[in-house]
Amino acid sequence: MSRFTASLPVRVLSLLCVIAPLSASAQTSAPATSAAQPAASQNSATPATKIPRVTTTVVVQGKVEEYLPDAVTVGSLDGAPVAELPLSAGVITRDLLDDQGARLLTDVVKNDASVGEDYAPVGYYGDYQIRGYTLDQNTGFLVNGLTVVGQQNVPLENKQSVEILKGISSLESGMASGGGLINYETKRPQTVEALDAATDQRGSSYGAVDLGHLFGSRKQVGARVNLAGERMMSYVVNDNGWRAVGAGAVDWKITPKAILKGDFEYQHADQRSVCGYQLLGQETAADGTPAEPLVPDITRLYPSTMLGEQSWQKPNVFDTTNSNARFDYDLSAHWKAFAAASYSHSLRDDNVVYAYGCGYGANETECAQNPGPGQSPEYLYAPDGSYDAFDWREPGVLLINAQAEAILTGHVKMGAVTHDLTGGGELFRMSVQEPGFYTYANPSTALVTDGPVYDYVGSENIYQPVQAFPMESPVQSAGPRRLYEDNHQASAVVQDRIHLPGHIQLFAGGRADSMRDQNYSKTATNPCTASITPGATNDPCPVGSFLALPASNNKLIWLPQYAVTFNPIPSLTLYGNYGVLLSLAPEASWFTDNGNQFLSPYFTRQTEVGAKFEPGQKILLTTAFYHMRAPFFYPKVIQAPDSFCKADVFNAPGDLCFESSGHDTHDGIEVNAQGKLTSWLRVNASAAATRAISTETGTTAFDNKQVLNVPHLRTALFADILVLKSHGLHLLPGWGYTGRKEATRDDAVNVSGYNLFNLGARYTPGGEQGHVTFRIFADNITDKRYWKDTGANYGDTFIHLGAPTTVRLSAHYTF
């Protein structure tokens, strides 16, 4: 943290001397208030007496002092009141993040039952799902309503809230994840000087400063800086890491009608990645019938174990930047316009000892790719728990998202009917660069691999101590970095929100999207042959070389969105909606014939009805029923070339080809409650029941089955209980339940459901107006051992152990 303290004011340095002993005895994160409270109190110890309405991105102009913010942008480009929005959304407020000591999105999403992990290893970025659909890493995450690269752990230090849009909003995003969006709202400039120090029972150390000031005779310019550093002592042995964050925000009220806002954040993170477990393969019967695999015995496994851990293993390294700017201008009393742009850049080095399969060295006689009698599949662990360890290195993975949009909104009255009109356009570009394959311009060498390094180093057993193996010799290097995916979009947006007599509103609109999607993966490009003469040479192409001729997918599509709302009483909104969304398809599993190919974009369709009830402006109750349908993606056994694996990449009958086949249909209900039940009790609660079924997949065993990693029921509850006559003491209990999850696509294997209990406390000496607040929060207080997810990463099924008991302590001081 010394790199940050040199530029702090003298009084901040003095405070560090006071807080340091406190953090050594274990204190954790900062007090909090709702995103809708006055800016000056956001980092004070004042209790959150108001909870923001469940919403998406809040348009902030100056201080927001209402209980419920009345303007949003994500899901409603015209800034419609939240109570009138025909969609389902949730918000995790700053105070909740602080009370729970949240550092990662994994810590955040446990507060919403509609969101789950879908392959989120320790030390790596996480995949997540909303309503059972996996979020696309390139389009499913936003900062201030603008898309950022998802393959990063977005820092939370400069965030005021995390907002979750559930389901489809094609107006907001022409291309996004079908399940929804996760948006991070940044803190806006204000006069603030605050310091945080935190630790946990394993000795982690954390420090952060939050400095802001308003300038000018009318306070028309504001600036805010957030700096943080953390040394992470992981519960996994030899998986400690560190990170550093720097973020800034500027607001400039140029005139009473014009406001310019800008944000920038940078994070460096350095930590090893922890590999998940696979299922244990079982012997194939004499008649060739494969036996169902087994879940490893969790009573013999420990969350502290890093599978395959080796002393020479390098950490993952992440360097990410996200920046955005927005200009708002009031054209008249009824017409407004804004323009916004963003740039997101993520550069990472992937390094992990990959614990995968068993056919290469571990009990090789028991495992085979095409198992015969007495053998099990080599893409699973051996029946006794043996597995193969591989050195996986993928350096220099570069992802870039760039977006720009301009929107005009206006209000027109036509007799008894009024129209809120919205129109505008957007440009978007996404590119993915990874270590690539040989081309005519980049011929192979003996020590350069075809793509990432993936080299066998030894075999181990999940129930035995980790063994030491030497690194491969000679040491391999990854192939040259090359463009794998390049996506360009230009779109036009229109919407008419019609106010009719009888408290009825109609929403009609959509997005015309012109997309050019170019796929440069090896199986999508054209093989180089001797009959082709690249460049100026007439030499035959090297064996196995490819030309950089991408497979293009160009589309001009219309993405409609229609909705209706009805307010029988002012505090109750009933709504229904229908929408269509375009999404980027996943990348094919590396072990399939078309491995690493990005499949063509696909459509998700949704129908939803819901209700929102807000009694007394103190609590918001919502419910939604939805029906959604998207294609089903999986590695399919094929006997001959098809439209996904053509003859030039098909190897042999019985091969696996990653395909889009059949439907993935989700029907569900969500119930949420957020706000104050009484003067001494505040709750954040949700429940989600989901029926997620795969149909017409082309594999009979997978039809009409609950899809992987989607529980039938999930609940989440967090409470803030004021201890009466305690002068600033709050108890913070929490509970979550996750039902059984399927671990194979035929539903023959699953992991058990589980309950998790959390407990914390917040104390402000001398009452709620004090300058210092202490917190303690413990996750999983019963030290429950459980499988937290069974996500299918690139087609492989991995299961991950949940975290053991973790106790966080913190102190927060405001000057």
pLDDT tens for residues 733-753? 999 999 999 999 999 999 999
- Quote the tokens at residue 427: 């440009």
pLDDT band at 769 (very low <50, low <70, confident <90, very high): confident
pLDDT at residue 43, as a whole number: 40
Sign of CA dihedral 403, 265, 762, 126: positive
pLDDT at residue 12, as a whole number: 35
Judge whether residue 796 has pLDDT over 90. Answer: no
Task: Kindly report, residue by residue over 492-531, the tens digit of the pLDDT.
Answer: 999 999 999 999 999 999 999 998 888 887 766 666 554 4
pLDDT band at 537 (very low <50, low <70, confident <90, very high): very low
Q: What is the mean pLDDT of residues 673-686?
A: 91
Q: Collect all residues with Cβ–Cβ distance below 8 Å to 232 and sequence separation of at least 6.
A: 204, 240, 241, 242, 243, 271
pLDDT at residue 474, as a whole number: 86
Distances from the Cα of 129 to the Cα of 9, 37, 102, 162, angstroms: 43, 30, 19, 15
DSSP string, 699-727: -GGGTTEEPTT--SEEEEEEEEEE-TTSS
**Out of 43-52, 58-67, 502-511, 684-693, which region has the weakest mean confidence (pLDDT)?**
58-67
Q: How far apart are CA 116 and CA 27, in angstroms?
A: 28
Amino acid type, 106: T
Q: What is the mean pLDDT of residues 721-732?
A: 90
pLDDT at residue 447, as a whole number: 79
pLDDT band at 37 (very low <50, low <70, confident <90, very high): very low
pLDDT at residue 791, as a whole number: 81
CA torsion angle for 523, 526, 530, 533 (degrees, to 10)? -140
Per the CB < 8 A criterion, the answer to whether 466 and 306 are in contact is yes
Task: Kindly report, residue by residue over 431-441, the tens digit of the pLDDT.
Answer: 999 988 776 66
Q: How far apart are CA 263 and CA 155, in angstroms?
A: 13
**Out of 28-42, 313-327, 383-397, 493-507, which region has the weakest mean confidence (pLDDT)?**
28-42
DSSP-derived pairing of the beta strands 180-186 and 705-706: unpaired
Q: How far apart are CA 791 and CA 744, in angstroms?
A: 10
pLDDT at residue 419, as a whole number: 95
3-state helix, strand, coil split of the chain in percent (to 5) is: 5, 50, 45
pLDDT band at 594 (very low <50, low <70, confident <90, very high): confident
Q: Of 181, 180, 174, nearest to 141 (Cα)? A: 181
Q: How far apart are CA 629 and CA 75, in angstroms?
A: 20
3-state SS class at 673: strand
Q: How far apart are CA 134 and CA 115, in angstroms?
A: 10
Q: How far apart are CA 314 and CA 320, in angstroms?
A: 19
Distances from the Cα of 557 to the Cα of 503, 583, 649, 760, angstroms: 33, 12, 30, 50
**153 vs 449, residue with greater confidence:** 153
**132 vs 654, residue with greater confidence:** 132
pLDDT band at 539 (very low <50, low <70, confident <90, very high): very low
**Out of 24-33, 252-261, 597-606, 742-751, which region has the weakest mean confidence (pLDDT)?**
24-33
pLDDT at residue 546, as a whole number: 56
- Quote the tokens at residue 328: 């708002």
DSSP-derived pairing of the beta strands 367-368 and 376-377: parallel
**13 vs 424, residue with greater confidence:** 424
DSSP-derived pairing of the beta strands 705-706 and 741-742: unpaired
Judge whether residue 222 has pLDDT over 50. Answer: yes
Q: Considering the chain, what is the average pLDDT of its residues? A: 85
pLDDT at residue 385, as a whole number: 93
Q: How far apart are CA 589 and CA 796, in angstroms?
A: 7
Q: What is the mean pLDDT of residues 84-94?
A: 87
pLDDT at residue 73, as a whole number: 52
Q: Domains of the chain by range and CATH?
A: 2-182+192-814 (2.40.170.20)
Percentage, residues of the chain above pLDDT 70: 84
Judge whether residue 19 has pLDDT over 60. Answer: no
Q: Of 633, 690, 778, 571, nearest to 113 (Cα)? A: 690
Task: Kindly report, residue by residue over 451-500, the tens digit of the pLDDT.
Answer: 889 899 999 999 999 999 999 888 888 988 888 889 999 999 999 999 99
Q: Collect all residues with Cβ–Cβ distance below 8 Å to 32 and sequence separation of at least 6.
A: 42, 48, 93, 94, 95, 96, 97, 98, 99
pLDDT at residue 10, as a whole number: 36
Per the CB < 8 A criterion, the answer to whether 478 and 394 are in contact is yes
Q: What is the mean pLDDT of residues 379-384?
A: 90
Buried b / exposed e across 328-356, counting CB within 10 Å, b at 16+?
Answer: bbeeeeeebebebbbbbbbbbbbbbbbbb
pLDDT band at 272 (very low <50, low <70, confident <90, very high): very high
Judge whether residue 205 has pLDDT over 60. Answer: yes
Q: How far apart are CA 20 and CA 199, in angstroms?
A: 10
